Amino acid sequence: MGKGLVDSLHNEFDIEETWLGFEIHPETPPGGADLSGRYDPDDMAQMKAMLARRAEELGLPYNPSPILANSALALAGAEYARDNGRFPEFHREMLEAVFARGQNIGLREVIAETADRAGLDGKEMLKAIDENRYEERLKKSQDLGHELRVTGVPTFIINDRYAIVGAQPIETFRQIFGRVEEEAGQTSA
C-alpha cells in the first residue's frame, strides 16, 4: 500500500497522533451486514466514487468489502497490537484488509491473518480478545467518541478544536494544519 494520509502530512507538519477505536455501528452482527439494502444505492455509489478518488490521490489500492463489517474484533486487536508495539503495522494491515483486499474484519480468521501480517501472533491476539483484556479500554474510547460527538470514521480531531470527518481530500488537512500553525505562531509572538 502506498503512503497514507498521515504519513504524507508528517513530512509537512509536526504532528503527534493518537488513534482511538470507535464503533460507528456496534449493532452490526458478528458476520457483518449486507450494504445493498442498508443505504440508498445512489448514496453508496457516490461514497464509493469519493473513496476511490481519495485512494487514487494517495496512490492506494481500493477494492472494498461489499459488506458492513462488525469492527469489535479489529478494535480489540488494535489494542493488543498497541500493547505489543505493533500498532502502526496492524493498523495499516487492517486498512489494507478492508479497503484493498475487501475482507470482512469481523471474522476471527481475518483478524488472526492480519495480526500475522503485522508481525504479531494471531493466535495470541485472539486469546487476548477472548479474555476481554481490552474491554474497559475500548469502553473508555467509545465513551470519549460519544463525548466528542464522533459521527463517522475516521474522525480527525485537531488541537481539540477542529474536526475532520471521513475520507477528505489531503488539501483539507493541509488547510487545517496550516491554520493551526498560524494560530500557534500568533500566540507565541
Q: Do 47 and 11 meet the contact criterion of CB atoms below 8 Å apart?
A: no
pLDDT for 186 equals: 76
The C-alpha angle with vertex 25 and arms to 20 and 31, in degrees rounded to 5, equals: 105
Give me the pLDDT at residue 69, please. 93
Cα–Cα distances (Å) from 160 to 62, 164, 176, 180, in that order, read: 31, 11, 12, 11
| Measured CA distances, 18 to 32, 61, 180 (Å) | 27, 25, 17
176 with 9: CB under 8 angstroms?
no
* Grid coordinates of 25: 455501528
Residue 2's pLDDT is 38
DSSP assignment of 91-155, as one string?
HHHHHHHHHTS---TTSHHHHHHHHHHTTS-HHHHHHHHHTTTTHHHHHHHHHHHHHTT--SSSE
Query: Which segments in the chain show pLDDT lower than 50?
Result: 1-3
Q: What are phi and psi of 108, to 5 degrees?
A: -60, -40
- Helix, strand, or coil (residue 77): helix
Q: Which of 187, 185, 181, 145 is nearest to 9 (CA)?
A: 181
Protein fold of 5-188: Glutaredoxin (3.40.30)
Answer for the pair 34, 67: CB distance below 8 angstroms, yes or no.
yes
pLDDT at 181: 86
Count the neighbouring beta carbons within 10 Å of the beta carbon of residue 49.
10
> How high is the pLDDT of residue 188?
62
49 to 42, 53, 83, 113, 143: CA distances (angstroms): 11, 6, 36, 28, 32
**Distance (Å) of CA 73 to CA 66, 80, 100, 109, 138:** 18, 11, 19, 11, 11
